[in-house]
Chain A
Amino acid sequence: MSSVKSMIFATATLLLLGACGNGDLSPSNTDLRPQVTPGTAGYQPSQLAIDFTLSDSLGNPFTLSDHFTGGAQPANAIVLYFTMWCPICTSHMDHMLFNVVPSFATRGNTAYIIVDYVSGSVAGTRASELANGYGGSAFTVLSDSNQTLFNLVNASMGTTVVIDGTGTVLMNEDYRGGANLTQTLNGVLP
Chain B
Amino acid sequence: MPRILKNWIGTALLAGAVLATPSLAISASCCGGGSASSLILPKFGKAMVDLSFNVEQYDGFWDTTGRWTADPAGSELSQYRLNLGGAYRIANNWQISAMLPYVYNSNRYTGLTSNTEGVGDAAITVWYEAFDNIMCVWDVQSWEDLKPAIYLGSTLTVPTGISPYDDVSNNFDITGRGFYRLDASILLDKTIYPWNFTLGYTYGVHFERPVNREYGNYVQPYQKQLGNRSTFTTSFGYTYFTEKMQSITYTIAYADLRENKGKVNGAIDQTSGLRKQSFAGTVAWASDDRDWVVKTTFSYAPRRSGWGRNFPTTNVLTMGVSHVFR
Contacts and interface: CB of A to CB of B under 8 A. Distances in A.
Indicate whether A and B interact: yes
A155 B164 CA distance: 12
B212 A118 contact: no
Interface string B295-326: 00000000000000011100000000000010
Interface stretch (B65-73, B126-134, B198-206, B286-294): B65-73
A22 to B, nearest CB: 6
Interface stretch (A65-73, A101-109, A173-181): A173-181
B217 to A, nearest CB: 6
B98 interface: yes
A84 interface: yes
Contact of A117 (B64, B67, B111, B212): B111
Interface in A126-145: 127-128, 131-133, 145
B221 interface: yes
Given A22-B162, A118-B112, A119-B109, A33 B220 contact: yes
Interface in B197-241: 209-224
B161 interface: yes
A95 B165 CA distance: 23
B140 interface: no
Nearest to B179: A24
B214 A173 contact: yes
Nearest to B223: A29
A152 interface: no
Contacts of B179: 24
Contact of A118 (B75, B85, B223): B75
Interface of B: 3-4, 8, 29-31, 46-47, 49, 61-64, 67, 69-75, 84-86, 88, 98-100, 109-112, 119-120, 122, 158-167, 170-172, 176, 178-179, 209-224, 264-265, 267-272, 274, 310-312, 325
